Structure 1
Amino acid sequence: MATTIVHATLTVDGFLADQDGGVDWMFGRPSAPEDDAVVEKVLERIGAVVGGANRTQTIEDGEIPYGGMLKVPVYLMTHTAHEPIERDGVTYTFVVDDIAQAVEEAKRAAGDGWVSLLGGSISRQCLQLGLVDELHLDVAPVLLGQGISLFAGLGRHIELERLETSAYASETHHRYRVLRSST
C-alpha cells in the first residue's frame, strides 16, 4: 500500500514561497552530495503526485511538479471537470473538489511507492482529513518574514514521530511519521 507524504522545501520560518509565490530563495546555496542523495532517495520512491491546479493553466504555464523530473501520474485538484492531459510522458488527471478521491486514485497508481502532496492548501486539507502518513521537510537556512505558509490555518493539533533527521551543506532534512489519534 502506498505511503502518502507531504514533501516540501521550506524556510526556517515555515514558508513554501514568498508572498508572490516565488521560490528563488531555494536556489544558489552551496550543496553537498549528501543533500542531493537525500532528495534523490525521496524522488526514487514517489509513484504519484497530488497537487492543485488552476484548470489546465498549471501545465500550460510550465508549473510541472518536480520540474518534470518525475514521470509518474499526477492528480490535480480543480473546481472544473477536464479530460486527462498527457504531456511529456506524464498523465495529468483532474479531480473535481474531492481531495480524498484524488489521494485514493494516486495511491492505487503509486502501488507500494509514495504519493507526494504538493502545496500548502493540498497538504493542510489532507492533514485535516487524516490522509497523510509522513512529512518530508527540507529546510533551507533562510527567513522570509512573510510568504505562503505550509501549515498556517491547519487548525488542529497533530503529533509527529521523528523518523530521520540529517543536515549537510544546504539544508536540514526532516522525516516524520504522522501519529493517528486513538479517539
Structure 2
Amino acid sequence: MSLTQYYTATSLDGFIADPDNSLDWLFTRRQDPDGPLNYREFIARVGALAMGSTTYEWILDHEFAGKDPAEWKWPYDLPCWVFTHRRLQVVPDARIEFTSADVAAVHAEMVAAAGDRNVWIVGGGDLAGQFADVGLLDEVIVSIAPVTLGAGAPLLPRRLELQLEELGRNQDLSSARFTVVRRAG
C-alpha cells in the first residue's frame, strides 16, 4: 500500500528554513547515510513527489545557479507535481507537472504514478498541512537539528495529531517517524 509521507528536517524550534529560505543550518550537521530514518532508504521507496513553489525555486537556485538551462539535470527521476499559482521556470526533460489544483484533486494521480511506492511531500509545511487537512497525509518523518532559528518557514503551520512510531539518533540529528492520527467522523 502506498503511503503519503512528509519527510523533512526542522530546527529545534520548528522551522524548516530560516527567514531567507536558507537551509545552511542543516547542511552543517553530521549525518550517517545509513543511520536511522536515512534519506537513501526513504527515497528508494518513493514513486512520486509533490512540492510547493518555494521548494521548487530553492532547488533551481541551489542546483542550477550559474548553469545554462540546457545543462540542467533535475535531481529526481520520478514524476513530480509542483503546486503553484505562478508561472515558473521549466527544467528541460524533467518529469514535472505544474498545478494549481486542490491537493485532493491531484492526490489520486500521484498515487497512481507512484504505483506500489510512496508519495513524498517534499515541502513545504503548508503543502503537507493541506494534504493532512483532507485526510491524505499518512506519515510525518522528521529529523530535528540542534539549532534554533527564531523565525522562518514553519514545519507544519496548523494543528496535527501524531503518534510516534519510531525514534532514533542519526549523529547530530534526532529522527522520528509519526503516523497521522485521523479524526473520527
**Common topology (TM > 0.5):** yes
Structure 2 unaligned spans of 5+: 65-72
Equivalent position to 1:148, from 134, 153, 163: 153
Show the 5 A alignment for 1:101-140: 101-117=105-121, 118-140=123-145
Please tell me whether the aligned partners of residues 6 and 135 of structure 1 are also in contact (alpha carbons under 8 angstroms).
Answer: yes
Question: SS of the counterpart of 1:108?
Answer: helix
Please state how far the C-alpha of 1:146 moved relative to its aligned partner.
1.2
Please state how far the C-alpha of 1:31 moved relative to its aligned partner.
2.9
Find the counterpart in structure 1 of residue 82 from structure 2. Answer: 76
Q: Give the letter aligned to residue 45 of structure 2.
A: R
**Deviation string for 1:30-70 (max 9, x for gaps)?**
3334438722111111111111127x967754669xx9443
Q: Give the letter aligned to residue 135 of structure 2.
A: G
Please tell me whether the aligned partners of residues 37 and 176 of structure 2 are also in contact (alpha carbons under 8 angstroms).
Answer: no
Find the counterpart in structure 1 of residue 49 from structure 2. Answer: 49
Question: Residues 148 and 108 from structure 1, CA distance in 2 versus in 1: closer, same or farther, beyond 3 angstroms?
Answer: same
Find the counterpart in structure 2 of residue 3 from structure 1. Answer: 3
Equivalent position to 2:182, from 153, 176, 180: 180
Please tell me whether the aligned partners of residues 51 and 127 of structure 2 are also in contact (alpha carbons under 8 angstroms).
Answer: yes
User: Identity of paired residues, percent?
Assistant: 31
Please tell me whether the aligned partners of residues 47 and 117 of structure 2 are also in contact (alpha carbons under 8 angstroms).
Answer: yes
Q: Give the letter aligned to residue 178 of structure 1.
A: V
Write out the 4+ residue segments of structure 1 that deviate beyond 4 Å after TM superposition.
56-64
Q: Give the letter aligned to residue 174 of structure 2.
A: T
Question: Residues 103 and 182 from structure 1, CA distance in 2 versus in 1: closer, same or farther, beyond 3 angstroms?
Answer: same
Find the counterpart in structure 2 of residue 21 from structure 1. Answer: 21
TM-score for both structures, normalised by structure 2: 0.81
Please tell me whether the aligned partners of residues 79 and 97 of structure 1 are also in contact (alpha carbons under 8 angstroms).
Answer: no
- Aligned mates of 1:60, 1:141 — CA distance in 2: 27
- Aligned mates of 2:136, 2:161 — CA distance in 1: 14
TM-score for both structures, normalised by structure 1: 0.82
Please tell me whether the aligned partners of residues 95 and 101 of structure 1 are also in contact (alpha carbons under 8 angstroms).
Answer: no
